[in-house]
Amino acid sequence: MTPHEYVDYYTKPKWGRTYEDDKYVDSELLEDSFIVFYTYVFAHLGLPRPTYAQYAMALFVSDASNPHRILMAQRGLAKSLTSQIYVLWRLLNNPEEKILIMSAGRTRASNYSQFVQKLIKMLPVTQHMTPRHGMERTSGESFDVAGAAPSDSPSMYAVGAATQITGMRSSLIIYDDLETSQSVESVVKSEMINTYSMEAQNLLMSGKDESITLCTPHSVNSIYIPWIEEKGYVPFIIPCYYTDKDYLYWGGLAPYITEAVKADPSLIGQAVDERLNADFLSSKKMRIGKSKFALQYEIDVSNSDALRFPLKLSDLIVMDVDDDIAPLKIMYSSMPENILYQKHNGFAKDKLYMPNHTSEQTASYEFKIISIDTAGLGKDEIGISIIYSLGTRMFVKKITGITGGYGDENMEYIAQLCEIHGIHVCVVEDNFGDGMFSKLLEPYILKYSPNTELEGIKVSGQKEVRIIEALEPIMNQHRLVVSKEVFEHDITTQKAQYSLAYQLSHITRERDSLRNDDRLDSLANGVTFLIEHLADDEDKIMEYHVEKSAQDNLQFTLDLFGKGKVSSGLNFGDRF
């Protein structure tokens, strides 16, 4: 019988019974068929036969034609148990296998290894493989199976994801829940886990190129997504409910689910697994909350990022920004016809929007500033943002970053930007060196742009929280307008992590959520500086400027004919 025929045979009776006969199977058949061995182990553990969903996992895990396979499934479906039974079956067939187990933490990896040892001792067909004290390794973190040839690499060894491994070789790597909900909050932690897990691939023996990843993604920023999209890892995803939304699962929804829904659309919304039925799932959702349920059971990360990543590119208004004037009224819309098809380094699903309408009436900017984030040492950049304000909105003309520290060339470049754009105030973050940057920059400002005022500011508090709290309110109100040129330049940044779009869309409230934040920090400082100069009512601003324009025109006419000065009835106060 084929593996699929065995699955059909075992799942034909209604699920929930145990079968004593499943414990007594010919050893040759157990070695030959993983599905038979899988059922045999369940019987010896006192469990009912696996459900169809569990057999589907077993078929995928044992399909070596996909050398790098990723299994994502709802909590409680026995992903780890299925892989533990599989690696034991591999060792039964070939005692020379060298299997590396890598988990988020060392303890979890050790528990995985220890359970495999318990299975070896418990199952009649594998008891002869039990490691012998004094002859084979027997620890919880690494052990040999009896009968394996002497080697510097154990039959199985377990490590945490932050562990650098040298001097060992592997024929198969099992990645068991490398990520946690905490690790995805930090780019630094995620990069470290990704680096060590990829370095583990170098341990694979010549001619061996195989890994199995067991996981529950916590974010669209998960390390697993590039593995699927860029490295060719094959996903197999089993959520708790039947669904036709394959687009939520990177094209990896388990084929049997897709086929079942096509044959019977009424299955949509029903529980996939007999053990985790609708009542169980409803109870679980009430106890752990909708957001955690969506992640751990529906394998849906689409909503988890709404709160984790508070700054949305879609909240910006993107248009051409003139250097001297701007429309007095701008209407935001997120309708499809307003989408700007401009590449960016944010999340793939992020969209940019052009204004739905801009008024014909324009006015000169009220304030023009350049904001400098002065980190610029080592791998950091000096972040530069040029921002203008008019009425209720801020207009971002330019955002860039320069390397090379505080040399003459950089100081001259900044001063020349002030001159070119007619900057009123140069805002410099003075935390570093007690205002040293401002002192170095001052002679260049006096030389190239003497009308520009130099103003140092001190910032405090956790950087990530400060940036989000500065930008989120004004972005939510669609009061931040960004020049198209900013994104056109931004996409040319050699490393995405240095680009504004990446930094803005990926920042979270966790410390070190960004490796580089200089451009975004310069924008946040500039917005904070300008916010007090913004008006609150766009219609009043329009009325003010229309009346002012009319009075200016009248005054011009009077001056032309030698008449007196017209009296102004304008009185909108300092903030209109």
What is the chain's pLDDT, residue by residue, as a tens digit (576 residues)?
A: 999 999 999 999 999 999 999 999 999 999 999 999 999 999 999 999 999 999 999 999 999 999 999 999 999 999 999 999 999 999 999 999 999 999 988 899 999 999 999 999 999 999 999 998 878 888 888 999 998 999 999 999 999 987 777 778 999 999 999 988 777 767 778 888 888 888 888 888 888 889 999 998 777 678 888 898 888 899 999 999 999 988 888 889 999 999 999 999 999 999 999 998 888 999 888 787 777 788 889 998 776 666 678 899 999 999 999 999 999 999 999 999 999 999 999 988 889 999 999 999 999 999 999 999 987 566 789 999 999 999 889 999 999 999 988 899 999 999 999 999 999 999 999 876 678 899 999 999 999 999 999 999 988 888 998 999 999 999 989 999 999 999 999 999 989 999 999 999 999 888 888 989 999 999 999 999 998 878 666 666 666 666 666 666 666 566 666 655 545 544 444 443
Question: Cα–Cα–Cα angle for 130, 134, 139, nearest 5°?
Answer: 60
Nearest in space to 344 (alpha carbons), one of 501, 489, 516: 501
Q: Is residue 355 part of a domain?
A: yes
Give yes or no: residues 245 and 339 share one domain: no
Range of the structural domain that residue 244 is part of: 3-304
Strand order in the sheet with 425-429: 339-340, 352-353, 317-319, 480-483, 393-402, 382-390, 367-373, 425-429, 453-457
Q: Is residue 278 part of a domain?
A: yes
Give yes or no: residues 276 and 329 share one domain: no
Tokens of 178: 């490398």
Give yes or no: residues 416 and 298 share one domain: no
Q: Is residue 540 part of a domain?
A: no
Domain end among 304, 322, 341: 304
Give yes or no: residues 291 and 323 share one domain: no
Give yes or no: residues 172 and 317 share one domain: no
Domain end among 263, 286, 304: 304
Give yes or no: residues 234 and 270 share one domain: yes
Give yes or no: residues 283 and 411 share one domain: no
Helices 106-122 and 79-93 pack at an angle, to 10 degrees, of: 60
Give yes or no: residues 40 and 188 share one domain: yes
Burial class (CB in 10 A: 0-12, 13-18, 19+), 160: middle
How far is Cα 279 from Cα 393, in angstroms, rounded to an integer? 51
Give yes or no: residues 295 and 328 share one domain: no
Nearest in space to 401 (alpha carbons), one of 416, 422, 421, 380: 380
Give yes or no: residues 107 and 201 share one domain: yes
Nearest in space to 189 (alpha carbons), one of 465, 521, 508: 508
pTM equals 0.64
Give yes or no: residues 274 and 128 share one domain: yes
CB 143 within 8 A of CB 76: no
CB 173 within 8 A of CB 153: no
Give yes or no: residues 297 and 353 share one domain: no
Beta strands in 188-316, from DSSP E residues, in sequence order = 211-215, 234-238
CATH of the domain at 182: 3.40.50.300
Residue with tokens 């700007």: 340
Number of domains composing the chain: 2
